[in-house]
Structure 1
């Protein structure tokens, strides 16, 4: 494995800028030291993450739709899912655990990588317990940089349901421009959903966020 240091710049006032999430580690309050801020990174999935994946599946009611009909309510099933789906890296797909202080709290990946045309499809999720801290935005911007620089891709696409404004904000803040709506593309249960497609080109201006350190295979 090898690590890529986080990079990027962020102007004052912009959304999440640091690989440390929350308060700085050197701050103090009276005589009490403030605990170090959590450190976030992208890294490969491992079997030891099974319990964290089970927790994410348990506390995140919307996660089942993201992984389809796969049952992740037990550690054993999560181990199988990691072994079969999340850990393997192929020429067309790679996933990264979104790790905070070593604990996997989400996933970000690039699939359908087509190297002739330089395209790929990006996807991500963050456990309900870890939301609201900008992790999805940082992870998405970071994997886009990895796909452009390490995989030589030129165009990345993603899609979100039109009734999911939070995912839309993640995409736009990470530099993915909205390109249009595909009507009734997804079906969950008996209901169909319109999907808004976003895309980012390697030649687009990068978003003003500091990228997460990324450990690669």
Structure 2
């Protein structure tokens, strides 16, 4: 029996309040400066390898994300405080394969968003949406083995470490081995309370 094809996303991208007081919301063109700042942040640039951004290219990228949402190919949220303030981070799903029921997480935080457990909560919220609303079956997180912060987010959000992919991704300092984490829709509830101190 052929499994059902996951549903297409709703017309409007949902907003998710997080326990830490932040929210996940659609990107706004007014957030363009955040993408410029993300490229300028050494940690984000090293681990996430973003493309160089100008204010104009950042606006164009946000518009492409909105288009990808409408097409069902990607789902990118801005992470920030409620209200008009600019975002402090990104979390989303790229490479959405509707027929195969899978997608890969992308995430980063600017320094002002770190230390609140926000990213673990954001990954859990997007996972819940992906499994219950988008009908996906498998989500994965890949990161350099030299990036323990990303590994901690994946582990605390319930993504099991499945293995190490050798020389899998080229960073500025050469090829890195990558951890592969994954979570299935059948792995149990996603929106558990975060671990103490996360």
Given the two structures, how large is their TM-score scaled by the length of structure 2?
0.80
Alignment partners' CA distance in 2, 1:144 and 1:201: 9
Q: CA deviation at 1:56?
A: 3.5
- Matching of residues 25-44 of structure 1 within 5 Å: 39-44=21-26
Instruction: Tell whether the 8 Å contact from 1:126 to 1:135 is kept in structure 2 after alignment.
Output: no
Pairing 1:137–2:124 present = no
Alignment partners' CA distance in 1, 2:75 and 2:157: 19
**Paired position in structure 1 for 2:193:** 209
Name the SS of the counterpart of 2:35 in structure 1: helix
Q: CA deviation at 1:161?
A: 0.5
Residue of structure 2 aligned with 1:104, choices 79, 87, 112: 87
Instruction: Tell whether the 8 Å contact from 2:79 to 2:88 is kept in structure 1 after alignment.
Output: yes
- Matching of residues 161-180 of structure 1 within 5 Å: 161-180=144-163
> Which one has a bigger Cα radius of gyration?
1
Please, what is the CA RMSD of the aligned residues?
A: 2.1
Residue of structure 2 aligned with 1:80, choices 57, 60, 76: 60
**Paired position in structure 1 for 2:76:** 95
Alignment partners' CA distance in 2, 1:69 and 1:116: 28
Name the SS of the counterpart of 2:88 in structure 1: strand
Aligned length: 178
User: Relative to total residues, which structure has the larger helix share, 1 or 2?
Assistant: 2
Alignment partners' CA distance in 2, 1:146 and 1:50: 25
Instruction: Tell whether the 8 Å contact from 1:175 to 1:206 is kept in structure 2 after alignment.
Output: no
C-alpha change, 1:77 and 1:117, in structure 2 (3 Å) is closer
Instruction: Tell whether the 8 Å contact from 1:46 to 1:87 is kept in structure 2 after alignment.
Output: no
Could you list the per-position Cα deviations for residues 105-139 of structure 1 after superposition, in whole angstroms to 9, with x for gaps in the alignment?
Answer: 11111122222231111111111221111111111
Could you list the per-position Cα deviations for residues 154-179 of structure 1 after superposition, in whole angstroms to 9, with x for gaps in the alignment?
Answer: 11111010011111110011110000
Instruction: Tell whether the 8 Å contact from 2:91 to 2:122 is kept in structure 1 after alignment.
Output: yes
Alignment partners' CA distance in 1, 2:22 and 2:152: 20
Runs of 5+ unmatched residues, structure 2: 1-11
Runs of 5+ unmatched residues, structure 1: 7-18, 22-38, 211-217
- Structure 1 residue ranges (4+ consecutive) displaced by more than 6 angstroms after TM superposition: none
Residue of structure 2 aligned with 1:186, choices 146, 169, 172: 169
